[in-house]
Amino acid sequence: MDSAQAGNANLKEGVAPFAGTPQRLPEGHPPVLSGRIGVLIVNLGTPEGTSYWPMRRYLKEFLSDRRVIEVNPFVWWPILNLIILSKRPQASGKAYDEVWNRELDESPLKTVTRSQSEKLAAALAHEPRIEVEWAMRYGLPPIKEKLEALQKKGCERILLFPLYPQYAAATTATVNDKAFDALKALRWQPALRTVPQYCDDPIYIDALARSLEAHLAGLDFTPDLILTSYHGVPQEYLDKGDPYHCQCHKTTRLLQKRLGWPDGRLKVTFQSRFGKAEWIKPYTDETIKSLPGKGMKKLVVMTPGFVTDCLETIEEIGGENREYFEHAGGTHYSVVPCLNDSAEGMRVIESVVRRELMGWV
């Protein structure tokens, strides 16, 4: 018996790292899963219910994030715990209750993110090495739990996909931070790739254009203006070098070019500001209130920075801002749904994942 044969004699079959292929392990070695590749898509987060305590837990986790609130923690702690968390859970709970998926007892953000994960897994099913999971940055399921689940399935390489087309420290970076924190607790860390911003990806821009064109084709009016409303961030974050503001403008500029429309047909605004600090402008609500007085009484709003419809798109844009517009004299108002798990939306997600898996698959 030569040395190779002698070595093989001391091996036993373990668990297959690839479909149908047994792994060869030394005698006595515990079974292991290996050779697989994980994809973890991560959305912002959601409370587990609309009552006081679920809302409080969610808001506390969210508003305690130093990436989200950069105020000195010694100043912010009493404001958050003694003032905000005593009142805001009730108000936020009422807003969530208006959009809640009662059939599944969860927010629409969770419903759609789960569906996006399932459809992505189906699209990648031809590659048996790939495992797809989904998580939330705030709330459940947590990033740490899903990273560990992927590793237990044998994923030695994981692609982390924060579902934000435009990069911001308060969104993309905090997802990455949480994932890296989870890796610190692991003895055997998987290799980790993070998906960069894709605000100018041609497939993303094309999907937005097709979605807007289809929506406009179904209306019984021609809008005087179309707002592209993005989630806002404090002006201070832009001043410190956050690229988010510029990337939002880039997305709208490329969308307008793709549609072949003249300048001024689309307008960038920023919504969902919080607190008394100055945020990046122009503000969506103030812009909407002013338009009827300028003769623009037919309005369409789309939210390109939101991959999934959520409280900010359904209730804030679809409800609250509609009321502002109508009370100011607006006559026609319509909101373009997010790409969600539509065919166009999934084309974007799948394209980005396939691109970022190059060299691994």
Asked if residue 302 is part of any domain, the answer here is yes
Confidence of residue 236 (pLDDT cuts 50, 70, 90): very high
For residues 130-165, one letter each, b for 16 or more C-beta atoms within 10 angstroms of the residue's C-beta and e for the rest, the string is bbbbbbbbbbeebbbebbebbbeebbbbbbbbbbbb
Asked if residue 311 is part of any domain, the answer here is yes
> Alpha-carbon distance 124 to 120, whole Å?
6
Asked if residue 218 is part of any domain, the answer here is yes
Residues in the chain: 361
**Packed helices 108-123 and 343-356: angle between N→C axes, nearest 10 degrees:** 60
Residue 16 confidence (pLDDT) above 70: no
pTM: 0.90
What are the pLDDT digits (tens) for 288-313? 999 999 999 999 999 999 999 999 99
Asked if residue 87 is part of any domain, the answer here is no
Confidence of residue 23 (pLDDT cuts 50, 70, 90): low
Name which of 124-128, 252-256, 281-285, 345-349 the model is least confident about.
124-128
Residue 246 confidence (pLDDT) above 80: yes
What are the pLDDT digits (tens) for 180-234? 999 999 998 999 999 999 999 999 999 999 999 999 999 999 999 999 999 999 9
Burial of 37 (0-12, 13-18, 19+ CB in 10 A): buried
Give the domain range for residue 232: 202-335
Asked if residue 294 is part of any domain, the answer here is yes
Confidence of residue 29 (pLDDT cuts 50, 70, 90): low
User: What is the structure's pLDDT at 5?
Assistant: 46
How many domains does the structure of the chain reveal? 1
Beta pairing class for 298-302 and 266-271: unpaired
Q: What is the dihedral of CA 287, 336, 253, 326, to 10 degrees?
A: -20
| Selection from 141, 164, 156, 150 nearest residue 121 by Cα | 150
User: What is the structure's pLDDT at 347?
Assistant: 98
- The CATH number given to whatever domain includes residue 231 is 3.40.50.1400
Asked if residue 331 is part of any domain, the answer here is yes
Asked if residue 242 is part of any domain, the answer here is yes
Asked if residue 152 is part of any domain, the answer here is no
The mean of the pLDDT values for the chain is 93
Residue 10 confidence (pLDDT) above 50: no
Residue 17 confidence (pLDDT) above 70: no
What are the pLDDT digits (tens) for 53-91? 999 999 999 999 999 999 999 999 999 999 999 999 999
Question: What's 320's DSSP letter?
Answer: I
Confidence of residue 33 (pLDDT cuts 50, 70, 90): confident
- Cis bond leading into 282, ω under 30°? yes
> Alpha-carbon distance 64 to 80, whole Å?
8
Burial of 300 (0-12, 13-18, 19+ CB in 10 A): buried
User: What is the structure's pLDDT at 13?
Assistant: 41
